[in-house]
Amino acid sequence: MKAATADEIKRLREETSCGVMDCQKALVEAKGDFGRAKELLRKKGLEMAAKKSDRLAKEGRVEAYIHHGNKIGVVVEVNCETDFVARSEDFCKFTRDVAMHIAAMNPENVQALMQQPYVKDPGKNIQDLLNELVAKIGENIKVGRFVRYKVGE
């Protein structure tokens, strides 16, 4: 069984946001099959998210998003376990993306939000994005609540 090359590991890491060692292990386990390696990493992320789902998430951030034209606004609370993670670039990007998605797709509640196809990548839903972030960061993360305002509604 040949070892994964640095270029293969780098490509898988860029596409999945998983760690270098996880990418290398997945490529070796998949015998170099890139698609299978991605699937293995996705499954590992789901397992990790399930293990962490019982942990308390009392930190986090409130993200505000105002859509172009100032006609739609969103405030969303996303929780995590530590303030360190709440300030991280990946967590902040996730909260911005979720707020923008809420502005665009107008979900009725958090449960419906999590199942909606992500507006920037319809091949994934919001729960998939959250699971990927949990796998990358290693903390329990939850969308707590949100409010969407639209002028005239």
> What letter represents residue 22's amino acid?
D
Q: In whole angstroms, what is the distance from residue 131 CA to residue 114 CA?
A: 11
Give me the pLDDT at residue 51, please: 61
Banded pLDDT at 118 (limits 50, 70, 90) = very high
Give me the pLDDT at residue 134, please: 85
Q: What topology does CATH give the domain 6-52?
A: Helicase, Ruva Protein; domain 3 (1.10.8)
Question: Which class for 127: exposed (0-12), middle (13-18), buried (19 or more C-beta within 10 A)?
Answer: middle
CATH superfamily of 59-150: Elongation factor Ts, dimerisation domain (3.30.479.20)
Strand order in the sheet with 59-66: 59-66, 72-80, 142-150
The domain segmentation of the chain, as residue ranges, is 6-52, 59-150
Give me the pLDDT at residue 30, please: 85
- CB 72, CB 148: distance < 8 Å: yes
Asked whether the predicted pLDDT for residue 38 surpasses 60, the reply is: yes
Q: In whole angstroms, what is the distance from residue 2 CA to residue 5 CA?
A: 9
pTM, 2 dp:
0.70
Q: In whole angstroms, what is the distance from residue 43 CA to residue 131 CA?
A: 10
Banded pLDDT at 115 (limits 50, 70, 90) = very high
Model pLDDT for residues 45-62, shown as the tens digit of each residue: 656 655 666 666 789 999
Q: In whole angstroms, what is the distance from residue 136 CA to residue 80 CA?
A: 13
Banded pLDDT at 148 (limits 50, 70, 90) = very high
Q: What average pLDDT does the segment 101-118 reach?
A: 96
Asked whether the predicted pLDDT for residue 21 surpasses 90, the reply is: no
Asked whether the predicted pLDDT for residue 27 surpasses 90, the reply is: no
